[in-house]
Amino acid sequence: MADEFAKGLAILMGGGLAWLTLAGWYRTPSFEGSGVQLVAPVETPATIYGEIGIALMDVLAWFSVIGALTFWVVIPAVEELRSALDERSG
């Protein structure tokens, strides 16, 4: 059970850090002042690397959210369900 938590946490932290970095590059006009940070509209990328980064940004954001929820909610719920079914049949 602790392993599942650690896996979810690792996904959330790792994916979140990568998303944070890319969002700091492509979706933050400035870190100074009271402007929007990390979720501002995407600046048009000039290079192919920029386009890859922007595509990767959304992938990483959803990966960290869904990955953490999978290990913290879905897998434990499935195991609970399975043990409950086993008890009922056994």
Partner 1 sequence: MSDTDSDSEEVRTDGTGIVPPDDETPSWQERKARHEGLSRLTYEYFERARREDQDLRQQSSYVERDVLAFPTWPHEMIRNLALVSFFVGMIIFLSAALPPHIGPPADSSSTPAIILPDWYLYWSFGLLKLGPLNPDISLLGGQKLMADRTYGVLANVVIVGFVAIVPFLNKGAARRPVEQPFWGAVGVSGIVFAFTIAVLSVKNLIQMDSHLLFDLTFLLPIVSAFLSYAVLRSMREGYMFNLNRRYYRLRPPK
Binding site for partner 1 (CB under 8 A): 20-21, 24-25, 30-32
34 or 89: CB nearest partner 1: 34
17 or 73: CB nearest partner 1: 17
Q: By the 8 A CB rule, do 4 and 68 touch? A: no
Query: How far is it, in rounded angstroms, from Cα 71 to Cα 4?
Result: 6
Cβ contacts of 20 within 8 Å, gap of 6 or more = 38
Tell the smallest beta-carbon distance from residue 77 to partner 1 (Å): 21
Tell the smallest beta-carbon distance from residue 24 to partner 1 (Å): 5
Identity of residue 38: L
39 or 88: CB nearest partner 1: 39
